[in-house]
Structure 1
Amino acid sequence: MGQEVIMCPFNASPIRSAEPKIDRSLTLHLRGDWGSANLHRICGWITQELAGRSGPHTRIATWNGRGFVDAVRAVGRGEVHVALTTPAAFTVAALEGSGVYAGESYPDLRALGVIPRRARLVVAVHRDLGITTFAELRERKPVLRLATAVQDGAHHVGLAAHEVLTRSGVDITGWGGELLEDEYPSKSLDHVREGRANAIVHETIMQPDWLDISRHLNLLEIEEDVLGGLFDDFAWPATVVEGEYFPGRAAFRTLDFSDVLVLARADLPDDVGYAIAWVLGETRHTLESQYLHLAPECSPLTFPLDPRALGATPLPLHRGAARYYSALPGS
């Protein structure tokens, strides 16, 4: 979240803070992703480490979810104690009930930590169309078969794709085209790779498949007035895809889809909030070890993890979590 990541070797000793021990037995509910992706993996890590430091009859369940608006609402409504959502910054609007949360605010939302995930929303069209900017796209109005996420008001990628295209003056179906909507990002990438789609809007640029399909695509920079409006209306931040991240491509501006937010409410007991933050910071090697077969720039979670950066959250920290992060050296 804008802080420098300290590149320490993976066998470095953790930054030790007081290890939690919760004598009572807990019953907790977490919410992750569809069941086999990164948010569920993080939940498994948290629950194992937390259960081992809690009373003997502790029970912790992880519920399936999507990791988007549904996760934020599940915590805000008290359906679960902890949920994971990405991108982290998209949760800010829920505090005051703006944007997609209009009519239902959650001022008691608190963060337990944020896990880095290098993601950017990318709008791309096939090179054969000869289009390199949104201005050219509006002028030529090509027939596009565009792969993206479902636009159901809850999927963050679908929400962002709809807003970016609409505010940019792009009318896929009105120009005679088709939206190919899917829940999972792999399906959208498959549509492009297998020729069913000649355009895509998605965020998982760290996946090797993106580098493969990008050879055939022009990547469009989102215009500044659109980015500014999205920040004003939804608190969605802009960022840059650095030059040469996609080989041979210059830097361009787009929406930031970074990071996984570990989310709770203010009424989560302070010792539980501290314990989860401690797990994130002090046992981080357990999660890192599951991604070491990947290059950091191609990993769905960015490693190595820096405990200080884990506490740099877009939402206010939970009291217990704040106690952990404030005790770290250099904090």
Structure 2
Amino acid sequence: MTGPAGVPKTHGPRVDFKIMGDWGNANFHAIAGWIMAHLRWQSERGSSFWIKTGTGYGDNIASLVSGEVDLTITTPYDVVPKWAREGSNYFAGKEPAPFIRSLGWLPQTDKLVFAIREDTGITSFKDIRDRKFPLKLASGFRTEDNIMMWAIDRVLEEHGIEIEPWGGEWLEHDFPRICVPFVTNGLANSVINEAIVVPQWRELVEKVPMRFLSYEEDALKALSSKYGLVPSIMPKGYLKAPEDIACIDWSNWAILVREDMSEEQAYLVTSIMVEQRAELEARYRHHPPEHAAMTYPIDPYAMWQGLGAPLHPGAERYYREHGYMK
């Protein structure tokens, strides 16, 4: 329905809507702004819209669970919502949140990988153990909310690797664009992180001879069986790797709400994610998909599948009515 001069009329009730994104300068905030803009244009005048910064991890889930925000974004799309609903693994000791629901996921092909400078002479995790090698390890902030760091601790634990007791140290920053250059600039001799699409990873392997270490088979089995972390492969040739690199999957961004969101609102937000997807994709199409921070295109036939939380009924109704669930 349009008004004068083809201007769309606003419709729907007044809403007060809050989303939790990331630190404020990365992909989750871009997603939050994209959803908010279209929600604003389809809501009654006087509605309010707020975006809160966060880590994208534990605090994002906590704010959703408490009702402080109506929608949150996190990654990976499968394990983190599942853990939160169960009160397991990272969320052990916290009240389970079985009322978390999803609206879908947005694509990012990503891996949690470990790389070390070739001039260290290290060629495997066994070498690190045997030499009790002092890693100067670049990674994220070791804060309570950082689920990636919780997972990294499990990776190192299952490989029998210690940092401080072997004379090593952590070099910390949440933003991979700042963290990865710690190795490029010589402050660190190794890195474990995700966001392998950011240009700083490519700059690193161009400037510094690096070796990506495949996670050991027994460690991968333990990470999967104990925690549900999903084994993956960074393919040969990516970041100049001379072979396939066994690692942990860290893919896709989960869009999460609570079950008490109205069916109409969940339906509307889901419709925005599907029908306005070209606008979000356009932000990333100046890079090829394998290097883009979002792995376009967004696929409505897939984006409701594989999540660690069930679909909200309003989202499910949207996907069914529009033929995306068959």
Please report the TM-score for the alignment, with normalisation by the length of structure 1.
0.90
Match 1:295 to one of 269, 288, 297: 288
Aligned position for 1:16: none
Match 1:157 to one of 143, 148, 151: 148
Q: Which has the higher contact order (CA 8 A, sep 6+)?
A: 1
Mapping for residues 184-199 of structure 1, pairs under 5 Å:
184-199=175-190
- Tell me how far 1:330 sits from its aligned partner: 5.3
Q: Which runs of 4+ in 1 moved over 3 A?
A: none
Mapping for residues 113-132 of structure 1, pairs under 5 Å:
113-132=104-123
- Tell me how far 1:228 sits from its aligned partner: 2.5
Mapping for residues 35-114 of structure 1, pairs under 5 Å:
35-89=24-78, 90-103=80-93, 104-114=95-105
Q: Decide whether aligned partners of structure 1 residues 275 and 330 sit closer, same or farther in structure 2, where only a CA change above 3 A counts.
A: closer
Q: Which secondary structure state, in structure 1, belongs to the residue aligned with residue 164 of structure 2?
A: coil
Q: Decide whether aligned partners of structure 1 residues 242 and 64 sit closer, same or farther in structure 2, where only a CA change above 3 A counts.
A: same
Instruction: Tell whether the 8 Å contact from 2:177 to 2:198 is kept in structure 1 after alignment.
Output: no
Instruction: Tell whether the 8 Å contact from 2:103 to 2:312 is kept in structure 1 after alignment.
Output: yes
Partners of 1:262 and 1:46 lie apart in 2 by 11
Instruction: Tell whether the 8 Å contact from 1:22 to 1:271 is kept in structure 2 after alignment.
Output: no
Q: Which secondary structure state, in structure 2, belongs to the residue aligned with residue 92 of structure 1?
A: helix
Partners of 1:212 and 1:24 lie apart in 2 by 49
Instruction: Tell whether the 8 Å contact from 1:121 to 1:201 is kept in structure 2 after alignment.
Output: yes
Partners of 1:95 and 1:294 lie apart in 2 by 35
- Tell me how far 1:170 sits from its aligned partner: 0.7
Instruction: Tell whether the 8 Å contact from 1:151 to 1:162 is kept in structure 2 after alignment.
Output: no
Partners of 2:323 and 2:311 lie apart in 1 by 18
Match 2:308 to one of 307, 314, 327: 314
Q: Which runs of 5+ in 1 are unaligned?
A: 1-20
Q: Decide whether aligned partners of structure 1 residues 217 and 97 sit closer, same or farther in structure 2, where only a CA change above 3 A counts.
A: same
Alpha-carbon deviations, 1:87-122, whole Å to 9, x = none? 212221111101111122100000111001111101
Partners of 2:225 and 2:59 lie apart in 1 by 22
Percent same amino acid at aligned positions? 33
1:234 partner amino acid: Y
Q: Decide whether aligned partners of structure 1 residues 249 and 327 sit closer, same or farther in structure 2, where only a CA change above 3 A counts.
A: farther
**RMSD after superposition:** 1.7
2:179 partner amino acid: S
> Mean Cα displacement is larger for which, 281-290 or 211-220?
211-220
> Mean Cα displacement is larger for which, 225-234 or 88-97?
225-234
Q: Which runs of 5+ in 2 are unaligned?
A: 1-9
Please report the TM-score for the alignment, with normalisation by the length of structure 2.
0.91
1:133 partner amino acid: S
